[in-house]
Amino acid sequence: MDFIEVKNVSKVFRINRRKSGVTGMLANLFVPKYEKKEAVKNLNFSIGQGEMVGFIGPNGAGKSTTIKMLSGILFPESGEITVGGFIPYKQRKTYVGSIGVVFGQKSQLQWDLPVIDSFELLKAIYRVPEGVYKKNLDRYTGMLDMGGFLNQPVRQLSLGQRMRADIVAALLHSPKIVFFDEPTIGVDVVGKETIRNFIRDLNRQDHVTMIFTTHDMQDIEKTCDRLIIIDKGSKVYDGTLPGIRERYGTTRQLDVEFVEHKEVAPIPKVEIIELDNNKKRFVFESHEVHINELMDHLLSHYNIRDINISEPEIESIIRKIYSGEYL
């Protein structure tokens, strides 16, 4: 059995449909009307110990709901979840002692106090032994270059500094698994890079299992080996990052610059788009048209100055998956 097992998990929310007007308000209070919304539908996946998995999907896809179920905040409606031998929503107090959660949008630090005070409080809450605390604190603050602001009140920190402090806060008790929920949101480029490097290093060195949700594909490209995409509550992709290009990124485009302006005769299964300055773009599917044959055809019929092949960006593939083009 893998470290994290999610089997046939579904979650249905009942959403209170509000009626307007004072009478509606009162009716709502005493006889509420509910509407069902399936946030997660029959979800299955498993994650091994020490894996680093990107968990992405458009807004409302069920990411947060899944993370909440994995961390024990919510019960699943049906199906089973086990994490490291625990059923998250059953043995709460023991279970949550072994996980760390970073919410990029919600700090767990004490707003008015120096960062270090929040850490001391967490040490007491999680019963972290002095030695372990000292070791973790020194190591993580060193890796994240936090020495300069440990004694500064949280309210005076920049967003990037605060996020780094929040990450350390989630790690002080040496969790076996860490959930990152948008840990780079609002952080500047340099800050993002620091956070990504830290997360990657920690995963490689300590084999901490990590699940990472984000809207920034660069976060995933720079940290995760594996990617799970969900949409409308269901899993639509589970595999490696290069794998996604193999599976969906089959569109190729060939930009050709001709020596002189010339009409090109239509080619079967290839879309031709007119660009400026004697340039044309040829768009086709790699399994339908052989690139060699197409190039041969072009080179033998026309005078060509320059040729350039490109694969689609991961980002645009993901966008297409979200918009349902591949379904």
Which residues of the chain form contacts with other proteins (CB under 8 A)?
A: 13-14, 21-22, 25-26, 29, 65, 68, 71-75, 77, 89, 92-94, 96-97, 99, 101, 103, 106, 108, 110-113, 117, 120-121, 124-127, 153, 155-156, 158
Q: Which CB sits closer to other proteins, 36 or 287?
A: 36
Q: Which CB sits closer to other proteins, 85 or 242?
A: 85
How many Å apart are CA 146 and CA 116, to the nearest integer?
11
The nearest distance, CB 170 to other proteins, in angstroms, is: 9
How many Å apart are CA 55 and CA 248, to the nearest integer?
18
3 state DSSP class of 239: strand
How many Å apart are CA 279 and CA 273, to the nearest integer?
9
Q: Which CB sits closer to other proteins, 94 or 300?
A: 94
The nearest distance, CB 26 to other proteins, in angstroms, is: 8
CB contact at 8 A, 63 and 55? yes
The nearest distance, CB 258 to other proteins, in angstroms, is: 54
Q: Which CB sits closer to other proteins, 1 or 22?
A: 22
Neighbours of 98 (CB within 10 A): 16
- The residue assigned the tokens 């850490």 is 119
The nearest distance, CB 95 to other proteins, in angstroms, is: 8
According to DSSP, the residues that pair with 103 across neighbouring strands are: 181
168: its two tokens: 């350390």
The nearest distance, CB 91 to other proteins, in angstroms, is: 10
Q: Which CB sits closer to other proteins, 12 or 264?
A: 12
The nearest distance, CB 189 to other proteins, in angstroms, is: 19
Q: Which CB sits closer to other proteins, 14 or 305?
A: 14
Alpha-helical regions (H) of the chain: 21-30, 63-71, 92-96, 115-125, 130-143, 159-171, 189-206, 217-223, 241-248, 291-301, 314-322
How many Å apart are CA 220 and CA 223, to the nearest integer?
5
